[in-house]
Amino acid sequence: MLREFSSGALVLRHRQKQWWVAVIEPGREGEPDDRKDVVALPKGNVDAGETPAETALREVCEETGLNATLVTKLGDIKYVYTRKWAGNEKVFKIVSFFLTRYQSGRINDITEAMRHEVRRAYWMLLFEAPGKLSYNGERKMAEKALEYVKAHADELA
Of 25, 27, 39, 45, the residue at the interface with ligand ATP (CB under 6 A) is 45
| Residues whose CB is less than 8 angstroms from the CB of residue 21 and which lie 6 or more positions away in sequence, other chains included | 10, 11, 12, 13, 41, 123, 124, 125, 126, 129, 142, 145
Complex with ligand ATP: residue 14 or 54, whichever CB lies closer:
54
d(CA 136, CA 40): 10
Complex with ligand ATP: residue 6 or 100, whichever CB lies closer:
6
- CA 130 from chain centre, in angstroms, equals 13
Residue 80: exposure state from Cβ atoms within 10 A (0-12, 13-18, ≥19):
exposed
Binding mask 117-146 for ligand ATP (x = CB under 6 A): ------------------x-xx--------
Of 77, 121, 142, 149, the residue at the interface with ligand ATP (CB under 6 A) is 77
- Is residue 81 part of the contact set for ligand ATP (CB under 6 A)? yes
Of 9, 24, 30, the closest CA to residue 101 belongs to 9
Binding mask 87-106 for ligand ATP (x = CB under 6 A): ------x-------------
- DSSP letters, 114-138, are GGGTEEEEEEEEGGGHHHH-SSHHH
Of 44, 53, 61, 130, the residue at the interface with ligand ATP (CB under 6 A) is 44
Rounded to the nearest whole angstrom, what is the least distance from the CB of residue 121 to ligand ATP in the complex? 13
Interface contacts to ligand ATP, rule CB under 6 A: 6, 35, 43-45, 77, 79, 81, 93, 135, 137-138
